[in-house]
Amino acid sequence: EAGVAQSPRYKIIEKRQSVAFWCNPISGHATLYWYQQILGQGPKLLIQFQNNGVVDDSQLPKDRFSAERLKGVDSTLKIQPAKLEDSAVYLCASSLVQGWYEQYFGPGTRLTVT
Amino acid sequence: DQQVKQNSPSLSVQEGRISILNCDYTNSMFDYFLWYKKYPAEGPTFLISISSIKDKNEDGRFTVFLNKSAKHLSLHIVPSQPGDSAVYFCAAKTGANNLFFGTGTRLTVIP
């Protein structure tokens, strides 16, 4: 079984530029999560999708971050414009159903904003 | 507001000995607790979990203990192996809600 795929693995941009991350969850997983992990901290949930609908985006900075999950499969997370404090690893995870405790994580995208 | 805390950022243990990783939480509504393991350049992988109705769960070399009155859980690894060297995250959830993660403890097992 293929795991959660993410791309790119690394990205360096200047502040005020825009960037997009892509995630392909495990086949058949209805729930998809985007986390932000700042160095020295644990992952923090940004947004959760159930199929192609948003379940929880309370921690998403909506003035600059946006996410979508078209057709309930792949998802993209966008930052526009980026700030220095957005430097972090962005993790995508998926689970079989909403509320299922075991989430499967992708390798993450390390973003550096200079 | 950090609801899940791991106060030890790092731990070093000799191979073959016991590793004990600790985690404290503040939200008494948490009903499920998990440990994730993370290697460099990889995403976290699920290791072991425990429901709030239990006080112990064992899986091979890994055992998680839950003390609800103290709002404390711990992960025991016996015997520790060099391949166990990684960052370990404690996480907790309430019902169908999302995971809250601790800040992680870096375990180094010395051969």
* Contacts of residue A49, Cβ cutoff 8 Å, sequence gap at least 6: A31, A32, A33, A55, A67, A69, A72, A75
Q: For B16-34, what is each residue's pLDDT tens digit?
A: 999 999 999 999 999 999 9
pLDDT value of residue A99: 62
Handedness of CA B88, B92, B98, B103 (dihedral sign): negative
Q: pLDDT tens across A54-65, in order?
A: 988 999 999 999
Contacts 24+ apart (CB under 8 A), A69-74: A69/A32, A72/A30, A73/A24, A73/A25, A74/A22, A74/A23, A74/A24, A74/A25
Instruction: Please state the rounded mean pLDDT for residues B80-93.
Output: 96
Dihedral (Cα; A103, A107, A110, B1), 10-degree rounding: 20
Asked if A108's CB is within 8 angstroms of B49's CB, the reply is: no
- Put simply, the answer to whether A98 touches B96 (Cβ < 8 Å) is yes
Residue A52 pLDDT grade (very low, low, confident, very high; cuts 50, 70, 90): confident
Interface mutation vs chain B, best among A38, A101, A104, most B CBs within 10 Å:
A101
State how far the alpha carbon of B71 is from the alpha carbons of A34, A75, B23, B83, in Å.
Answer: 28, 36, 9, 29
- pLDDT band for B98, please (50, 70, 90 cuts): confident
- In A, minimum Cα distance to B8 occurs at A40
pLDDT band for A1, please (50, 70, 90 cuts): low
> Residue B87 and residue A41: Cα distance in Å, rounded?
11
d(CA B55, CA B70): 12
- CB B100, CB B92: distance < 8 Å: yes
Q: Does residue A84 register a pLDDT over 90?
A: yes
Residue in A with minimal Cα distance to B37 = A105
pLDDT digits (tens, 9 = 90+) for B32-59: 999 999 999 899 999 999 999 999 999 9
CB contact under 8 A, B99 and A103: yes
